Structures are given as structure tokens and as C-alpha cells.
Amino acid sequence: MKHEKQIGRQRRRRCFRVRNRVKRDSTRPRLSVFRSHKHIYAQIIDDQQGRTLVAASTAEGQLRGQVAYGGNCQAAVVLGQTIAQRALEAGIRQVAFDRREYRYHGRVAALADAARDGGLDLGAKKAEPEPEAKKKPDKKSGKKPKGEPKQKAKKES
């Protein structure tokens, strides 16, 4: 139970941090995402007027025909393309991405990438750091890089 409480606290903190950052720093309408086990929902909200401009979800009849199951990455991609298309029809090109308490991973990332590909400007995508290559042991000193387990020497007879 303690672990579940900790996860809940982390989610609440993340939600407040992301939402406040989006509202404070942006004059753009925000693309808000909600995830359930069966479906994913997205809406573009204008916080200055306090109203929803565009909305779409995998629970809609139109998208249900395109997607077999609404709770996976493929459904999120279709939803991202749909929300981008509807936003462009409404004259919205730039939005701030509000991922709520969800990490930018899986369905949330798939929706955002599909919306970007559909023509919405969500801001620049952060570049992923390149993994460092493992260092080979230095032949002269005979020392191995730190972090690797030591191997037992074989006895020769």
C-alpha cells in the first residue's frame, strides 16, 4: 500500500507541475490528454475563454470503426491524426501539449507524434541523449573500466 500511495503522490505532483507550466508559459490553447484502460481522449482547450475548441476520442463512433481496441498505441496514432485534422479545420495551428500526470511514453507519446505529423505545432520535441559506448580495457595497464564484474583467473596445468 505504501508504494501505491507514493505513486499517487508522484502523479499528483507531476499533474500540478505540468498543468501550471503549460498555463503559465503559454498563450496557446492546450491539447489535453486523458487515458483510460479502454480509450484515450484528447481535447484542445482555450483557457482564456474557458471553453473546448476541438475534441476527439476513441470512444466516438467514427473512430471505433477505424480501431479495433481504443487502449493501445495504434488507436492513439489514429486519434492524434484526427485531432490534428479537426484542429486545422478550426484554424488552430499551434497548441501546448498538456500530458497531465502521464509520462511522455507509450500512448501519450504516440498521440503527440501523430498530431505533430498531422500538422499541429506542439513545440520542439526534445532530443534523446545518445547512449555512451562501453570503454574497452586498457591493454597496457591491465585495468578494466569500473562497473564490470571481475573474472576469475583460470588455472593452467
Identify the CA nearest to 64 among candidates 46, 30, 38.
Answer: 38
Identify the CA nearest to 85 among candidates 65, 100, 63, 107.
Answer: 63
pLDDT tens readout for residues 15-43: 777 777 777 666 888 899 999 999 999 99
Q: Where are the domains of the chain?
A: 2-117
The CATH number given to 2-117 is 3.30.420.100
pLDDT tens readout for residues 53-111: 999 999 988 888 888 888 889 999 999 999 999 999 999 999 988 888 788 889 999 99
